[in-house]
Amino acid sequence: MNVTKNTEKDRLNFWEKLYLPEIARGLGLTLKQMFKPPMTRQYPEERWEPTGSYRGRPVLVLEEDGERCVACSLCSRVCPALAIEVQAAETTKEKERYPVKFEINMLRCIYCGFCEEVCPEEAIVMSKDYELVFTNQEDAILGKDKLLIPIAQLQDRLEFLRRYK
Amino acid sequence: MSSIIDLILGFLSEHIDALILLAKIGLIVNGLLMAAAYLVYFERKISAWAHNRIGPNRVGPLGLFQSFADVFKLYLKEDIIPTLADKKFHFIAPIISIGVAMAVYAVIPFGDSFMVGNKEIFLSVAPGINIGLLFVLSMSSVGVYGITLAGWSSNNKYSLLGGLRSAAQMISYELSMGLSLIGVLMLAGSLDLTTIVHAQSGGKWNIFLQPLAFIIFLVASFAETNRTPFDLPEAEPELVGGYHTEYSGMKFGLFFLAEYANMVTASAMMVLLFLGGWEMPGLYEALGLPAGSPLIAAVQFGVFVAKLVPILFFFIWVRWSLPRFRYDQLMNLGWKVMLPLALANIVITGIVMTILKHYGIM
Amino acid sequence: MPQITIDGQRIETSAGKTIIEAALDNGINIPHFCWHPGLSVSGNCRMCLVNTGFPRKAADGSFERDENGNSVIGWGPKLAIACATPVAEGMVIDTKGERTEHAQNAIMEFLLINHPLDCPICDEAGQCKLQEYGFLHSKGQSRYNEQKNQKDKRVELGPNVMFDGERCISCSRCIRFADEVAEQPVLTFVQRGDHVTIETFPGTSFDSPYSMNVIDICPVGALTSIDFRFTSRVWEMSFTDSICPGCSRGCNIKVGVRNNEILRLEPRTNMHVNQYWMCDDARLTQYKFVNENRISSPMIRSGNTLAPTTWETATARAAELLKNYKPSEIMVIGSAHGTNEDNYLLAKFAHSTLKTHNVDFFRHLDNHFADTFLRTNDRAPNSHGIVEVGVKHEPSSGVSMDTLVERIKQHAIKAMYVMGDDIAANSDFASALTGIECLIVHASNHNATTALAHVVLASTTYAELEGTFTNMNKRVQYVQPAVATQENERIAGLQMSRWDKFGASNDRWARGERRNCRQNWQIIQNIANLFGADWNYSDSESVFKDIANHIGAFSGMSYNLLQEFQGLTLGKADSPEPKGVVYQSHTLKPN
């Protein structure tokens, strides 16, 4: 095995060693690119609609008779970033238990989707919402008022979960 | 009342030369700053095109006011001076950079003189300087002070390395740059830039007579202006921002402007020395205008700019196409390739000139 | 002394023990639901089935050997339940083999047929035996496709216990507890087969003062606490070993804390004090005062109001006030709610710094509270200890609690230094205290005494301090902080849940109040040093070392020994009771 065989000197032919033709080729490539149409999406005007597989802001499923969540706190336990806080309380409904407080700190959330995966009720799912901007830390803690989303808006994700989870 | 007007008019006529000079300085400085600003805009646009992007398009129509927004932002930003910096030199370095970049324009002619009444007006701040070329070269050498001082005074290892690289690089390439111009000088027989331009009249552009010198000058210009592929002094991946790491606000803006002003300078020098300046064979005859009229001067300026723009485009185009050299490659190229070639060019030019003169062709 | 072999381990045990007891003594845990060491054996869950056998003997009486020279075991034809099978000489027991495992799998599958598997809403989840064995001994799938039995899910067996019939696995632990320990036999099985469920006899309610212990011993979540129901998941709390301050029994407890708030108390096994149990009253009352109505910083009186201030100001003010009085005009009152350490330094402060002989303490006696099991008539945890460390009436010269009211009225006592106790809750004292010129009070909660005080020094509750209590049987037991104050925040040894460990100031779940309170002995030391005492105890342990060195009854004791032996009896530090194996009905996984 002769390692010296693979030096730059050996690999390149005369014109390549001269660089100039190669430089010209490179310049030609960029020049060609300049006349291709841009691939940019003009974001605030053109928005992207994610598919069901997209993991956006986690939300709670709201059915006709209230939330699915039973406040089992498994999402809270599994959350690697400790973003979720749940406080359970008793109800007279059949499910006995509901979250009197359910808060997700979006500054902590890393969108891993573990909460969705662990949820025994399919009550917390990842939505398509990717526009998350806050002006202070308190605003970033989303309570039940912001988390509960009617089930009709989450059909894509629920369908995805049914098929692939 | 009328006496005051008389007084003013008297003053004006008495100091007309000085006033014209001031006006020219004002025009050139503002024009240059505008040019630099739009150069930044085009740099961003061209890079966007090369990347299949759109580029700045939000501020003003087609994003044309983007540069103003940027400069305005720089003015508003906090000017941070590191605690351990050498404050005097930290302050003075960007001033040297931009000052030198501006000063060069004193000797650059943009066209022939024209007559207003019986007053001859030159398209140059300091016309008739017979060492114009030398002045340009020396000024561009002083420019290295700005960068080296910035790097050293910041008291930051990245800045210092950037400054050192800049000094080494500029000294290395200045040699070949200067030597490449000897051939041009031999042909023109003068250091006066106007004379050099006139020597190229009738299509005898030096790019055809001195192609090797042109290439050497072109490459050396890239190095002198710290443009890719020779932008080692500010190599972001390794040196953060190089010599201007510790600069913020408008001081950083001055370095930024100086870099683009230097680019314009280098391009203007190429136009003057190799592309015949404002000369364009047959154009002025075809227009049929009298020599020395302001219209001719305007057309000449237009021709000058028309030659300048493709070179600037080339500068930008190269930046978004080629990767940066390694430091040893940079030095090898400078000392082992460019310098011998520049020397050879002088010898060849001399021999050819002697032979041609011997046969009376020249 | 029969010799038996469990899982290849040779064990010497005493005759009459069952297999499960013998195994537990040697650290081998045989899965079980219905067996509990504090209750009789019923043997109805069948979870503890083990493979038993004896070495086979040849005709000549010698042990048969296989080709490797090991004795050949003649395994029993059927498995035996470890909880009801006594050990016998030479018995060989296999708790992990294929046959045992098959039986355990089958039992688990059987028990899970009608179990609703509603772990997400069940309070027991996380400390549930069924859940744990589900992981360890179950196949994780069921062959049962039919409809599960529907039973009542919310039945109040008593004022404090909620019963969920679907979750019940009919182990009968609660029934046996009611019969044998609580001695209130009101629970029974009704129905038969898979419809079996538990009810109280008509017209009765399971309201024994010990009823809530069934919540702990229930191996599943069938019995839950009405007080705690759904307050928190088990794994969100930290559990700190502590001592109940409710009476002089000194029951060993675990304090469940989340977000710096006590959410529940559980009994901790200590065979020499409370065995496995504690009373409902303590569970329901002995945590609320830690969370509510707290004095969160020292206060001094200006006009009619008490204004919060810094420790420096408050202690300086207290010292300045005390210096105005002759020693004989000052009365110092210790507290049976305080630790030995607190009272030791208080006595030292009174005798050597203030040089007063007027030292006594208030007894909290309540004969209605006492019973024949755990509850005693002395509602303070440390009445015996503080007498030992020097807080007691000096008959020769000092003023006692009995004569105090009279002496105040005579203006013989003008200043009082009260540590911890709410003496004004007693109406005699309340009226007398209004005539006191200077009243300095250590208190953890706002009460009638603090309302009259001139200086209030915020002190810790039992859940925030480190120290020792001495119970009615003179057993000194160790208490450690479960709740953080501004001072003991994150000190080494404070049990922390995952949420405590990783919470930041911008997490709403980590904002439980940290109060600016101090242990009584720290406050006393600060004031004594303003009198030039020059004490420098750095922590409770250094005070306790001082006690152990100076007071004979405590000699030989240390915090380490107290923790190791779950308490030591006064004067008998060198001969502790045997540690034994501590049985916990369920084990909590670390966070």
Rounded to the nearest angstrom, the minimum Cα separation between C121 and chain A is: 6
**Does the distance separating the beta carbons of C120 and A90 come in below 8 Å?**
no
Radius of gyration of chain B (CA): 22
Confidence label for C490 from pLDDT (cuts 50, 70 and 90): low
pLDDT one-digit tens code per residue, C357-411: 899 999 899 999 999 999 999 999 999 999 999 898 888 878 888 888 888 888 8
Separation in Å, CA A160 to CA A55, A78, C245: 11, 21, 55
Which of A67, A70, A85 to probe by mutation at the C interface, max C CB count within 10 Å?
A85
Contacts of B322 in chain A (CB under 8 A): 23, 26-27
Please choose, from the candidates C379, C215, C418, C154, the residue with its C-alpha nearest in 3D space to the C-alpha of residue C285.
C379
C195 and C168 Cβ atoms separated by less than 8 Å: no
Rounded distance between C-alpha atoms, residue B195 and residue B188, angstroms: 7
**Does the distance separating the beta carbons of B54 and A40 come in below 8 Å?**
yes
Measured over the CA atoms of residue C23, residue C29, residue C32 and residue C35, the dihedral's sign is positive
Segment C505-512 shows an average pLDDT of: 84
pLDDT one-digit tens code per residue, C171-228: 999 999 999 999 999 999 999 888 999 999 999 999 999 999 999 999 999 999 999 9
Separation in Å, CA B89 to CA B98, B144, B157, B246, C154: 14, 14, 16, 13, 82
Contacts of A90 in chain C (CB under 8 A): 229-230
- Give the Cβ contact number of residue B287 at 10 Å: 11
- Check contact B-C (3+ Cβ pairs < 8 Å): no
Rounded to the nearest angstrom, the minimum Cα separation between C198 and chain A is: 20
What pLDDT does residue B148 have?
86
Measured over the CA atoms of residue C214, residue C215, residue C221 and residue C224, the dihedral's sign is positive
Which A residues 113-132 touch C at CB under 8 Å? 120-121
Which residue type does C238 have?
S
Rounded distance between C-alpha atoms, residue B160 and residue B244, angstroms: 10
At C427, which helix (H) or strand (E)?
A: helix C427-433
* Residue C336 DSSP code: T
Which A residues 41-60 touch C at CB under 8 Å? none
pLDDT at C164 over 80: yes
What pLDDT does residue B130 have?
81
Separation in Å, CA A31 to CA B264, B311, B320, C153, C424: 22, 15, 10, 75, 93
Nearest CB neighbour to A40, from listed B53, B317, B320: B53
What pLDDT does residue C19 have?
94
With b for 16 or more beta-carbon neighbours within 10 A and e for fewer, the B54-90 pattern comes to bbbbebeeebebbbeebbeebeeeeeebbeebbeebb
Segment C422-443 shows an average pLDDT of: 88
Rounded to the nearest angstrom, the minimum Cα separation between B114 and chain A is: 40
Length of chain B: 362
pLDDT one-digit tens code per residue, A57-109: 999 999 988 899 999 999 999 999 999 999 999 998 888 899 999 999 999 99
Q: What is the pLDDT along chain B (362 residues), one digit of tens a residue?
A: 677 888 888 877 777 778 888 888 888 888 888 888 888 888 888 889 888 888 888 888 888 888 888 888 888 888 888 888 888 888 888 898 888 888 888 888 887 777 777 777 777 777 777 888 888 888 888 888 888 888 888 888 888 888 888 888 888 888 888 888 888 888 888 888 888 888 887 778 888 888 888 888 988 888 888 887 887 777 667 777 778 888 888 888 888 888 888 888 889 889 888 888 888 777 777 777 777 777 888 888 888 889 899 999 998 998 888 888 888 888 888 888 889 989 998 998 889 888 888 887 76
Q: How far apart are the first and last CA of chain C?
A: 41
The answer, for A37 touching chain B at a CB cutoff of 8 Å, is yes
Which of A18, A30, A31 to probe by mutation at the B interface, max B CB count within 10 Å?
A30
pLDDT at C591 over 60: no
Provide residues of C within 8 Å CB-CB of chain A: 119-121, 125, 153-154, 229-233, 235-236, 498-499, 502-503, 506-509
Q: Domain-by-domain residue ranges, chain B?
A: 82-358
Which residue type does B24 have?
K
The answer, for B320 touching chain A at a CB cutoff of 8 Å, is yes
What pLDDT does residue C59 have?
82
Which B residues 139-168 touch A at CB under 8 Å? none
**Does the distance separating the beta carbons of B317 and A33 come in below 8 Å?**
no
Instruction: Name the closest residue on chain C to residue A105, using Cα atoms.
Output: C507
Instruction: Name the closest residue on chain A to residue C226, using Cα atoms.
Output: A90
The answer, for A12 touching chain B at a CB cutoff of 8 Å, is no
pLDDT one-digit tens code per residue, C239-277: 999 999 999 999 999 999 998 999 999 999 999 999 999
ipTM for the complex shown: 0.84
pLDDT at C140 over 70: yes
Ramachandran area for residue A108 (φ above 0: left; ψ -120 to 50: alpha; else beta): alpha
What pLDDT does residue C589 have?
65
Rounded distance between C-alpha atoms, residue A152 and residue A146, angstroms: 16
DSSP β-ladder status, C3-6 and C92-94 = parallel
Rounded distance between C-alpha atoms, residue B173 and residue C118, angstroms: 79
Confidence label for A3 from pLDDT (cuts 50, 70 and 90): low
Contacts of B52 in chain A (CB under 8 A): 33, 36-40
Written as six digits, the tokens of B243 are 């010599």
Nearest CB neighbour to A72, from listed C121, C154, C502: C121
Rounded distance between C-alpha atoms, residue C204 and residue C186, angstroms: 7
Written as six digits, the tokens of C117 are 């598997």
Rounded to the nearest angstrom, the minimum Cα separation between C390 and chain A is: 47
Written as six digits, the tokens of B217 are 């000058």
Rounded to the nearest angstrom, the minimum Cα separation between C501 and chain A is: 11
